[in-house]
Structure 1
Amino acid sequence: MFGKIKNFAIKKVIQSQMKNVPADQKEMIMAMLEKDPTTFEKIAKEMQA
């Protein structure tokens, strides 16, 4: 249950950060996120380090 809530929250944050990104690129990024969300979590952790 919490996994779905977490994924929803992550999607909303990403969408808010991609206001000026073309629609086709948004769709591509969201598809990658749905396919493998752990990759984006790893990227975020590396950026914070």
Structure 2
Amino acid sequence: MGRGKVELKRIENKINRLVTFSKRRGGLLKKAHEIYVLCDAEVALIKICFLR
């Protein structure tokens, strides 16, 4: 059985939001590195951080 749907909403607590962003960024960088190593392909990531 798969996971249930999670409602997407802004994380109001700034500390929790930054921690979550950091974890997601780390995961994306890891995946990009894996693609680079396994496929010997050039990989580019564009990160846009909107400050509110």
Of structures 1 and 2, the one with the larger relative CO (CA 8 A, separation 6+) is 1
Question: Normalised by the size of structure 1, how large is the TM-score?
Answer: 0.48
Question: Normalised by the size of structure 2, how large is the TM-score?
Answer: 0.45
* Larger-gyration structure (1/2): 2
